């Protein structure tokens, strides 16, 4: 039997879970997020594509009370309190030396690493693909039945200095993870219309 | 009844469709991709989060044979033939003037637009959130039961000159869309281990 696009299509409940009913979370119930859950999230989102399979994303799980409070002081505006209310915060960074892994993850093309010897385009590739993997991570957190609170309003240099010494990684975002307290929140913000975003040639 | 993370979790078939069995497509069957399908994809992925709801992504559907051949000549290496084999190619760009829409899409904070008066950080925000929305788009294409072939090996300035005159948009990627010809392809490339990507503090 031919597999048609109709039978392969994502069902309505899953579309609601990942996109339509999912909301950025700023407050959470007390429910913990286990390492096993984080592993399940990674084991799902690791398959999503990056340029030349570069996979630059690196994650720091901030768990101890001391580290969590220190991180909270490095957030903009109300984001510090969002960190304090979350059971787990994940610092999402991009490895600027992702190209050292290309012989292993892009093995059919031995020249792959040499594409990235210039620092400036290499760092741009790290951030671009790190941003893609941040997006996959948000979807993967929701796929596990958890809620994600991604934040780019952060003091990235301070976080790098506090938690990334000796690592050549650029901090991109902090994502709070947990079960959202759905009593707290605001109405969904407007989205651009199809006609504002899509044109045809 | 309390909704638990167990009952909300994405089912196995959906996890396979979006992540585990999905593959970047380089060859396609003859099946067309309709505007209705593209609209359904956008109506799903538009809900995924961006920084301050910036939503910079802009999509150009390349449909006419003349435009498709012109685009194919602006791709690196074998990517031109991938465009030629696809029923639809989508140029994914980021609007550098996304901030002009903030009064509308971030209405509770009247000062939002003024955060982005400096060009350099504004362009960085456009590319970063455009990359996130490119990732959401890949997942949304798969959600519709279609296959995505995202490519960053492109001559972006040439594509901008050919198809984006008068628009202040930065071309980020081209994504082929269709039903993959599963006879064509290579084994999945290796993914980094959890231990290589995740650490805890």
Which of B74, B179, B189 is the mutation pick for testing A, counting most A CBs within 10 A? B189
Q: Is the pLDDT of residue A48 over 70?
A: yes
State whether B145 and A61 contact (CB < 8 Å).
no
A49/B150 Cβ within 8 A: yes
Give the angle A24-A156-B116 at the CA atoms, nearest 5°: 70
Partner B contacted by A198 (CB < 8 A): yes
Are B55 and B133 within 8 A, CB to CB? Answer: yes
A44 interface with B at CB cutoff 8 Å: yes
Q: State percent of chain B over pLDDT 70.
A: 97
pTM reported for the whole predicted model? 0.96
Degrees, nearest 5: CA angle B132-B135-B139: 140
Report pLDDT digits (tens) over B62-117: 999 999 999 999 999 999 999 999 999 999 999 999 999 999 999 999 999 999 99
Classify B91 as helix, strand or coil: strand
Count how many pairs of residues, chain A against chain B, have C-beta atoms within 8 Å.
Answer: 229
Amino acid A2: pLDDT:
46
How does pLDDT run across B26-63, given as a tens digit for each residue? 999 989 999 999 999 999 999 999 999 999 999 999 99
| ipTM (interface predicted TM) | 0.96
User: Residue B10 above 50 pLDDT?
Assistant: yes
Q: How close B131 comes to chain A (CA, Å)?
A: 5
- Judged by a CB distance cut-off of 8 A, whether residue B201 touches chain A is yes
Q: Convert the pLDDT of each residue in A70-103 to its tens digit.
A: 999 999 999 999 999 999 999 999 999 999 999 9
**A159: pLDDT strictly greater than 90:** yes
In chain A, which among 105-124 make CB contacts under 8 A with chain B? 105-108
Helix (H) or strand (E) run with residue A121 in it: helix A119-143
Q: For testing the chain B interface, which of A131, A133, A142, A146 should be mutated: the one with the most B CBs within 10 Å? A: A131
**Which of B9, B39, B145 is opposite residue A5, by nearest beta carbon?**
B145
At residue A185, the pLDDT reads 77
């Amino acid at each position: 039997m031919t597999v048609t696009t109709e039978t392969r299509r994502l069902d309505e409940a899953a579309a609601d879970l990942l996109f339509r009913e999912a909301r950025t979370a700023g407050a959470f119930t007390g429910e913990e997020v286990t390492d096993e859950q984080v592993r399940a999230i990674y084991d799902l989102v690791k398959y999503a594509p990056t340029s030349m399979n570069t996979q630059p994303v690196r994650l720091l799980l901030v768990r101890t009370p001391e580290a969590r409070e220190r991180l909270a002081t490095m957030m903009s505006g109300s984001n510090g309190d969002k960190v304090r209310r979350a059971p787990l915060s994940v610092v999402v960074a991009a490895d600027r030396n992702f190209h050292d892994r290309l012989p292993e993850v892009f093995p059919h093309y031995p020249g792959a690493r040499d594409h990235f010897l210039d620092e400036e385009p290499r760092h741009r590739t790290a951030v671009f693909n790190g941003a893609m993997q941040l997006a996959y991570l948000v979807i993967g957190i929701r796929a596990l039945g958890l809620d994600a609170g991604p934040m780019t309003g952060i003091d990235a240099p301070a976080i790098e200095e506090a938690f990334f010494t000796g690592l050549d990684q650029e901090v991109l975002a902090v994502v709070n993870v947990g079960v959202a307290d759905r009593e707290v929140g605001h109405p969904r913000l407007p989205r651009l219309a199809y006609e504002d975003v899509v044109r045809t040639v």
